């Protein structure tokens, strides 16, 4: 998400709270941080897990902490790591548990487009940034 920050801003996403190496276990605290300040948007996009394992409990807390009146979009991973498949499975489970949670399947959308990624397989190229932001925007529009 950090790599597509400017593209997301260009599509009207006001808050893109993304930093290098953030872990999924930080998600509930970040949701509460923005909620307590009255700035948590109606549509919350969570794309974490590239740097480590997603625990279902963390995902559950993040969705619950956002509240039923918000849509929470969980983005699958396209990362060359051993935990990618497990994390994506857990994100799918988490999204199915809640009426206000939705899956954005970045893996499915991107895994056949190597040109969207730098040689390291993580970082997005300009075309990858555009594709990522476009997918997020489309999925949010479809859920309304």
Q: How far is residue 24's CA from residue 59's CA, in Å, rounded to a whole number?
A: 8
Fold of 2-143: Rossmann fold (3.40.50)
Q: What is the DSSP letter of 12?
A: T
Question: What number of CA atoms fall less than 13 Å from residue 137's CA on the CB side?
Answer: 16
Percent of the chain with pLDDT over 70: 99
Whether pLDDT at 118 is above 90: yes
Per residue in 89-109, pLDDT (tens digit) is 999 999 999 999 999 999 999
Note the pLDDT tens digit of each residue in 11-26.
988 888 988 889 999 9
In percent, the amount of the chain with pLDDT more than 90 equals: 85
**3-state SS class at 132:** helix
Mean pLDDT for all residues in the chain = 95
Each residue's pLDDT tens digit, 64-80: 999 999 999 999 999 99
User: According to DSSP H, which parts of the chain are helical?
Assistant: 5-10, 27-36, 56-66, 84-97, 106-110, 126-143
Question: CB-based contacts of 25: which residues, under 8 Å, 6+ apart?
Answer: 52, 55, 58
C-alpha distances (whole Å) from 45 to each of 52, 70, 75 are 18, 11, 7
Give the DSSP letter of residue 45.
Answer: E
- Per-residue pLDDT band for 48 (boundaries 50, 70, 90) equals very high
pLDDT of residue 63: 99
User: Is the pLDDT score of 1 beyond 80?
Assistant: no
**Confidence band of 31 (pLDDT split at 50, 70, 90):** very high
**For residues 20-47, average pLDDT:** 96
């Amino acid at each position: 998400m950090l790599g597509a920050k400017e593209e997301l801003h260009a599509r009207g996403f006001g808050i893109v709270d993304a930093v290098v190496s953030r872990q999924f276990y930080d998600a509930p605290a970040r949701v509460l941080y923005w909620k307590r300040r009255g700035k948590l948007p109606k549509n919350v996009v969570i794309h974490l897990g590239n740097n480590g394992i997603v625990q279902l409990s963390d995902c559950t807390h993040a969705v619950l902490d956002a509240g039923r009146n918000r849509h929470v979009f969980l983005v699958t991973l396209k990362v060359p790591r051993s935990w990618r498949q497990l994390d994506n499975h857990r994100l799918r489970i988490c999204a199915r548990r809640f009426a206000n949670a939705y899956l954005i399947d970045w893996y499915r959308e991107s895994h056949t487009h190597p040109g969207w990624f730098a040689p390291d397989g993580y970082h997005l190229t300009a075309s990858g940034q555009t594709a990522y932001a476009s997918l997020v925007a489309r999925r949010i529009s479809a859920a309304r």
